[in-house]
Amino acid sequence: MRPVPANPVPSYEVWALPGVPEVRPGDDLAKLIANAATAEGLPGLAHGDVLLVTSKIVSKAEGRIVHAEDREAAIDAETVRVVARRGPTRIVETRHGFVMAAAGVDASNTAAGTVLLLPEDPDGSARRIRDGLRDALGVDVGVVLTDTFGRPWRNGLTDVAIGAAGVRILDDLRGGADAHGNPLSVTVVATGDELAAAGDLVKGKAGGLPVAVLRGLPHLVDDGGRDEGEAGTVGDSVDEGARGMVRAAADDMFRLGTSEAVREAVTLRRTVREFTDEPVDGAAVRRAVAAAVTAPAPHHTTPWRFVLLESAEARVRLLDAMKDAWVTDLRSDGFSEESIRKRVRRGDVLRRAPYLVVPCLVADGSHPYPDERRATAEREMFVVAAGAGVQNLLVALAGERLGSAWVSSTMFCREVVRETLGLPDDWDPMGAVAVGHAAAAPPARAARDTEAFITVR
């Protein structure tokens, strides 16, 4: 007999549970699993075991079967947001918050002409199975509901946890140290997904074995209030269920597919006039400029220049000079001093911004024409290219989560701007862009009827 070491090597065992019959709507899953687990020749269930249950049988028991010849319509009904689309394939966010292919709508392992939807409340389903097994067998086990997901950047599918009860689904190691004493500052282990994948190794995808039992990790399972000394010691994380594994939108760096990200950035691009005191990362602005200079331009030219006013001294010097020029113009136009003060205050958005960008048009490479008509058209082509560059800049800033406001004021005093900033004579300032972190979310944009802007011939 092999001796047992004084300090046993960590290990666990996992096996598929045979004998679970075909599940039908209204079936008591806990009773079906209890009967299968206590069949002759099987080890049964014990305190601290983890039960890994394929969500499809939960969907069947709960009647989440839809008669749908058109699977796409069922996917639409379960979708709250399309994350990415390539041909007929859609990665979507479900009403549960899961980001997955086809909203988890499955046409396999169900009768022809029907599809299976995910359980309405996977964590609630897991709790009911756990409570039923406690009532039937007197054991406290952890329950993990699993489903199959693809993963960004990785080929192949794996099972993950979509519902859980009585089991730790996240193991937060932050604040601890590794074997070399290095602090762990970002390590949160997806224990629920690791358990789900372990069960999938023995259940398989087509073996008719929808339940697996994992034994040997009782520290992950809630002890159900048993006396001290019995297996099972977990923290409060068991109460949250698998919903705690869904990353919040604000923390998700990869929330969108490529085309969806472009559309979202365009939608996010709003004029922001009030900014916080938080400094602007100059590297983020430079990344936005890199996007700006990809805009189309005539004659294979590069007619954009961007002056970045990163110091407060440079911003104040420019804005003071522009204000003096503006006030002089307004007085010459006959405005009263009170009216001038009001107009100047309305233009103070540039002063409230912690960062300014002055986009300039350089028409180097433009073609000379002797007649005014063609010369005007040539100039307009370059102006349009400058506008395209600024639009790219604004959208890219929105993608960097920076607010912006494009203000035209520098166009009314170009000589003053060139002189104050020491710019070449052929640089034409095309307004100024205030950049910063928005002090508040801008109001919702009023819906616009796209057809009102389209003429078809």
Residue 242 and residue 270 in one domain: no
pTM: 0.67
Asked whether residue 97 is domain-assigned, the answer is: no
Residue 210 and residue 153 in one domain: yes
Asked whether residue 87 is domain-assigned, the answer is: no
The CB-based long-range contact list for 190-194 (8 Å cut-off, 24+ gap) reads 190/245, 191/167, 191/220, 192/144, 192/160, 192/161, 192/164, 192/167, 192/168, 192/242, 192/245, 193/158, 193/159, 193/160, 193/161, 193/245
Q: Report, as an integer, the average pLDDT of 31-43.
A: 92
Give the model's confidence band at 13: pLDDT under 50 very low, under 70 low, under 90 confident, else very high.
very high
Q: Give CA torsion, residues 13, 247, 76, 87, to 10 deg.
A: -90
Give how far Cα 239 sits from Cα of 166, 173, 179, Å: 7, 18, 30
Residue pair 102/157 in contact (Cβ under 8 Å)? The answer is no
Nearest-angstrom CA–CA distance, 126 and 142: 9
Question: pLDDT for 177-196, tens place per residue?
Answer: 777 777 776 678 899 999 99
Question: pLDDT for 57-68, tens place per residue?
Answer: 999 999 999 887
- The domain tally of the chain equals 2
Residue pair 220/197 in contact (Cβ under 8 Å)? The answer is no
Residue 308 and residue 180 in one domain: no
* CATH code where residue 45 lies: 3.30.1330.100
Asked whether residue 88 is domain-assigned, the answer is: no
pLDDT of residue 185: 67
In the chain, % of residues over pLDDT 70: 93
Nearest-angstrom CA–CA distance, 188 and 240: 15
Give the model's confidence band at 416: pLDDT under 50 very low, under 70 low, under 90 confident, else very high.
very high
Residue 184 and residue 42 in one domain: yes
Could you give the count of Cα atoms lying within 13 Å of 215 in the half-sphere of its Cβ? Answer: 10
pLDDT over threshold 60, residue 238 = no
Question: pLDDT for 81-112, tens place per residue?
Answer: 888 887 788 889 999 999 999 999 988 778 78
pLDDT of residue 228: 41
Asked whether residue 74 is domain-assigned, the answer is: no
Q: What is the residue whose two structure tokens read 């039937």?
A: 136
* Widest pairwise Cα distance in the chain: 106
* CATH code where residue 281 lies: 3.40.109.10
Picking from 63-67, 82-86, 272-276, 418-422, which range would have the lowest pLDDT averaged per residue? Answer: 82-86
> Which residue range(s) make up the domain with 27?
13-64+119-251
Asked whether residue 102 is domain-assigned, the answer is: no
Asked whether residue 390 is domain-assigned, the answer is: yes
Give how far Cα 72 sits from Cα of 221, 322, 375, Å: 39, 58, 54
Residue 186 and residue 218 in one domain: yes
